[in-house]
Amino acid sequence: MGRLATNSTVLYSRVMELIFEIRDAEEGGLYARALGQSIFTEADTWDELRANVLEAVSLHFEDAKTRPRLVQMHYVKDELVPVEAA
């Protein structure tokens, strides 16, 4: 599933999901990086970042036939927690 064969040509359906890893930026705000694609963007707020991600995806995939149908924004927070020796 996920592709259709027509006249010996394989056409992939647009069920692709593009995942963005979202992290806090050191200088404030957030930055997003697409996994498996060269798409990066940043913003001060989550709502701005969401709009920037959608715009970046539209610009990267100019042809609507290849554009992903879904974008997942996955927020990652790194935290180092010291463990005291017992």
- How far CA 5 is from CA of 8, 16, 64, 79, in Å, comes to 6, 17, 19, 47
What does the buried/exposed string (b/e) look like for 34-57 if buried means 16 or more CB atoms within 10 Å of the residue's CB? Answer: beeeebebbbeeeeebbebbeebb
> For 7-59, what is each residue's pLDDT tens digit?
444 454 455 899 999 999 999 999 999 999 999 999 999 999 999 999 999 99
Q: Which amino acid is at 75?
A: Y
The Cα–Cα gap between 68 and 86 comes to: 50
Instruction: Please report which confidence band the pLDDT of residue 63 belongs to, taking 50, 70 and 90 as the band edges.
Output: confident
Q: Is residue 1 part of a domain?
A: no
Q: Is residue 56 part of a domain?
A: yes
Q: What is the CATH number of the domain that holds 30?
A: 3.30.160
Q: How many domains does the chain have?
A: 1
Q: Is residue 84 part of a domain?
A: no
